C-alpha cells in the first residue's frame, strides 16, 4: 500500500466511454464530463491480496476445472510482468482471468452460443505477481465467438484480465488478444481503443516461453498507473 | 525489460461474462472469490447495509454490472483488505447490489464516504463514484470533494438512510445517464 499520489489515467491509452460502434456503450456511457478528483488516502490506497488469496490450482486453468479428464484445445502458457509507468515491478499484484473455452463458449449461464461446453474446463483462475512483477498461468487457447453487436459480429480470441495494483486508482480490467488474429480489425471493442495504444493489448508469441512437447507460450506485459513523484498542492485539502 | 518509462495498458470492458471469474461464489460457480458483499466485520463500528440498483439511459435496470466498494474503517483508516467489497447485480431478484459493511470514519473536515468502482458490459473503461450518507448533512456541506460537484448534481452522490427491521440501511441507485445521471469522477 502506498500513499503517494498516483499518476493520472492516460486517456490517450484508454477507450472513450462512448463509442457507438460498440452498441452497448450508447445507453451505458455517462454523458456528462467526469469531475476531476484530487487524490487523498481513498484513492492512493487499495486492497492487498497476497499469495494466501490464491489456491494451489488457481493459476492452472487446465487443471482447476477437471472432472473426468483433460480439457480439449490448444494448451498454452501466458506469462509477463506487471509494471508501473516508470518500469518498476508491481509486486504482489492480484490478477484474475476468465475466458471462453477452445470452442468459443463461456461457462456463464447467459452465454447461448451454440458451441459445446467442456466438462473439464471452467475458464477462470488467478495468480499473484512475484518479486519481479512476473506472473504465469496455464490455460487453453480461447476460441472466437459470435455476438449480437452487429451482423456477423465475432469477438477475436481473448482472455479477460482484472488487476489490483498498489491503489484503487490503479485498478485495471482489460483483455489480452493474440497476434495475427484477423478479427482484431473488425472488433469494435479492440478498435474502440485509441490507435497507438491498442497494440499493447496483443500478446507476443515466444518460443523461449514455449515449453517443449507441452504448450505454446505467449508474453503479455501490463503497465498500471504508478506513483506520481511530484506531490501536488492541495491533495488532501 | 529495462526500468524505462512505459505507457498504461488500455482498459477493456469487463463484458457480460465476468460472473464465474470475479464473483464465482455469488453466482454459484465452482471457484473461490476474493471478496463479496459481506465486508469484514468490525464489532465496535456501526453496522449498515447499502443497497442499490444500476440504471441505463432508458431507465432499465442493468443486470450485469460489477460494483466494487473501497472504504475506510470506523476510525477513518484505510486497511489492507477489510474495506474492500465486490458484488455483481445479477443474483438479486430486484437487480440490487447488497453490501453489509460498517459506516466509515472520516478525515478532519471531510464527510464519510465510500469509493465505488463501476464496471459493466458497455463500459470500455471503468468509472468511479462516491457514496455519501444522507444523515451527515453538516459534514456533507463542508466536504471539499462534494464542493467541487455542481450543487444541482450533489444529490446523486447521497445514499438515503432507511430504517428497516434489520437495522440501518442506505439506498444508493446509480444512473449511468438521464436526468439524474450519477456524478462520476476522474481520479
Residue B52 belongs to a domain: yes
Question: Are A81 and B181 in contact (CB < 8 Å)?
Answer: no
Backbone angles phi, psi at A218, to 5 degrees: -125, 145
Question: Are A28 and B176 in contact (CB < 8 Å)?
Answer: yes
Q: Where are the domains of chain A?
A: 23-224
- Please write the tens of the pLDDT for every residue from B112-138: 999 999 999 999 999 999 999 999 999
- Please write the tens of the pLDDT for every residue from A165-186: 999 999 999 999 999 999 999 9
In the three-class reduction of DSSP (H, G, I as helix; E, B as strand; rest coil), residue B170 is classed as: strand
The single residue of A22, A39, A105, A106 carrying the catalytic annotation is A106
Low-confidence residues in chain A, pLDDT < 50: 1-2, 231-237
Q: Which of A81, A106, A108 to mutate to test the interface with B (most CBs of B within 10 A)?
A: A108
A106 among known catalytic residues: yes
Residue A155 pLDDT: 98
Number of domains in chain B: 1
Residue B36 belongs to a domain: yes
Task: Sort out which chain B residues have CB atoms less than 8 A from A87's CB and list them.
Answer: 1-6
Residue B101 pLDDT: 94
Task: Sort out which chain A residues have CB atoms less than 8 A from B107's CB and list them.
Answer: 40-41, 236
Residue B25 belongs to a domain: no
DSSP structure string for A142-208:
PPPEEESSSTTEEEPSEEEEEEE-SSGGG-EEEEEE-TT-TTGGG-HHHHTSPTTTGGGGB-EE-TT
Question: Are B123 and A43 in contact (CB < 8 Å)?
Answer: no
B176 to chain A, any CB pair closer than 8 A? The answer is yes
In B58-176, where do the E strands start and end? 65-71, 84-88, 97-102, 113-120, 127-133, 158-164, 167-171, 174-175
Residue pair B86/B68 in contact by the 8 Å Cβ criterion:
yes
Give per-residue burial for B60-77: e unless 16+ CB within 10 Å, then b.
Answer: eebbbbbbbbbbbbeeee
Residue B186 belongs to a domain: no
A155 among known catalytic residues: yes
Smallest Cα–Cα separation from A46: which of A217, A164, A130?
A164
What CATH number labels A23-224?
2.60.130.10
Question: Exposed (0-12), middle (13-18) or buried (19+): which is B5, by Cβ within 10 Å?
Answer: exposed
Minimum distance, in Å, between the CA of residue A119 and any CA atom of chain B: 12
Altogether, the residues listed in chain B come to a count of 187
CATH of the domain at B123: 2.60.130.10
Handedness of CA B54, B95, A188, B126 (dihedral sign): positive
Minimum distance, in Å, between the CA of residue A172 and any CA atom of chain B: 6
Residue with cell 504508478: A226
Domain housing B147: 30-175
B17 to chain A, any CB pair closer than 8 A? The answer is yes
pTM: 0.95
Residue B42 pLDDT: 66
Query: What is the DSSP secondary structure assignment for residue B150, as one 8-state letter?
Result: -
- 72-111 of B, contacting A, C-beta below 8 A: 72, 78, 80-81, 83-84, 107
Mean pLDDT of chain B: 94
Q: How far apart are the first and last CA of chain B?
A: 29
Residue pair A153/A144 in contact by the 8 Å Cβ criterion:
no
Query: Which pLDDT band holds residue B44 (cuts at 50, 70, 90)?
Result: confident
- Please write the tens of the pLDDT for every residue from B51-102: 999 999 999 999 999 999 999 999 999 987 889 999 999 999 999 999 999 9
* Gap between the Cα atoms of A157 and A182, Å rounded: 10
Minimum distance, in Å, between the CA of residue B162 and any CA atom of chain A: 26
Looking from the CA of B22 toward its CB, the CA atoms found within 13 Å total 28
Residue B82 pLDDT: 82
Residue B129 belongs to a domain: yes
- 42-71 of B, contacting A, C-beta below 8 A: 56-58, 60, 62, 64, 68, 70-71
Beginning with the edge strand found earlier in the chain, give each strand of the sheet holding A158-164 in spatial order: A124-128, A94-99, A158-164, A172-177
Residue B51 belongs to a domain: yes
Query: Could you tell me which residue, B164 or A11, shows the higher pLDDT?
Result: A11
* Gap between the Cα atoms of A141 and A170, Å rounded: 28
ipTM of the complex model: 0.95
Amino acid at each position: 500500500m502506498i500513499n503517494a499520489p498516483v499518476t493520472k489515467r492516460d486517456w490517450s491509452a484508454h477507450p472513450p466511454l462512448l463509442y457507438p460502434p460498440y452498441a452497448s456503450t450508447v445507453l451505458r456511457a455517462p454523458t456528462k464530463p467526469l469531475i476531476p478528483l484530487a487524490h487523498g488516502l481513498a484513492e492512493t490506497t487499495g486492497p492487498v491480496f497476497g499469495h494466501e488469496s490464491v489456491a494451489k490450482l488457481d493459476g492452472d486453468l487446465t487443471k482447476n476445472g477437471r472432472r473426468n479428464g483433460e480439457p480439449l484445445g490448444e494448451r498454452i502458457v501466458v506469462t509477463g510482468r506487471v509494471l508501473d509507468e516508470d518500469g518498476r515491478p508491481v509486486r504482489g499484484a492480484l490478477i484474475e482471468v476468465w475466458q471462453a473455452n477452445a470452442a468459443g463458449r463461456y461457462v456463464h449461464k447467459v452465454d447461448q452460443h451454440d458451441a459445446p461446453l467442456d466438462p473439464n474446463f471452467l475458464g477462470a483462475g488467478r495468480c499473484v505477481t512475484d518479486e519481479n512483477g512476473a506472473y504465469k498461468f496455464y490455460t487453453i487457447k480461447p476460441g472466437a465467438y459470435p455476438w449480437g453487436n452487429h451482423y456477423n459480429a465475432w469477438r477475436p480470441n481473448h482472455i479477460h484480465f482484472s488487476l489490483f495494483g498498489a491503489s484503487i486508482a490503479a485498478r485495471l480490467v482489460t483483455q489480452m488478444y493474440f497476434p495475427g488474429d484477423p478479427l482484431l480489425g473488425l472488433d469494435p471493442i479492440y478498435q474502440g481503443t485509441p490507435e497507438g495504444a491498442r497494440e499493447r493489448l496483443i500478446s507476443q508469441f515466444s518460443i523461449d516461453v514455449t515449453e517443449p512437447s507441452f504448450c505454446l507460450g505467449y508474453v503479455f506485459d501490463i503497465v498500471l498507473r504508478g506513483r506520481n513523484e511530484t506531490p501536488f498542492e492541495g491533495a488532501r485539502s | 525489460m529495462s526500468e524505462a518509462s512505459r505507457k498504461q495498458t488500455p482498459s477493456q470492458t469487463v463484458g457480460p461474462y465476468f460472473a464465474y471469474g470475479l464473483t464465482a461464489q455469488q453466482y454459484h460457480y465452482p471457484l473461490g472469490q476474493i471478496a463479496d458483499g459481506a465486508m469484514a466485520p468490525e464489532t465496535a463500528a456501526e453496522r449498515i447495509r447499502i443497497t442499490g440498483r444500476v440504471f441505463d439511459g432508458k431507465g432499465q435496470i442493468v443486470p450485469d454490472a460489477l460494483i466494487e466498494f473501497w472504504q475506510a474503517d470506523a476510525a477513518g483508516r484505510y486497511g489492507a483488505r477489510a474495506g474492500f467489497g465486490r458484488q455483481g447485480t445479477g443474483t438479486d431478484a430486484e437487480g440490487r447490489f447488497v453490501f453489509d459493511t460498517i459506516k466509515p470514519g472520516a478525515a478532519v473536515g471531510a464527510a464519510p464516504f465510500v469509493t465505488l468502482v463501476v464496471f459493466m458490459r458497455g463500459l470500455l473503461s471503468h468509472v468511479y463514484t462516491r457514496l455519501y450518507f444522507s444523515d451527515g448533512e453538516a459534514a456533507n456541506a463542508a466536504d471539499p470533494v462534494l464542493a467541487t460537484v455542481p450543487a444541482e448534481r450533489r444529490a446523486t452522490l447521497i445514499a438515503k438512510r432507511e430504517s428497516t427491521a434489520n437495522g440501518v440501511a442506505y439506498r444508493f441507485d446509480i444512473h449511468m445517464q438521464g436526468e439524474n445521471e450519477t456524478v462520476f469522477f476522474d481520479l
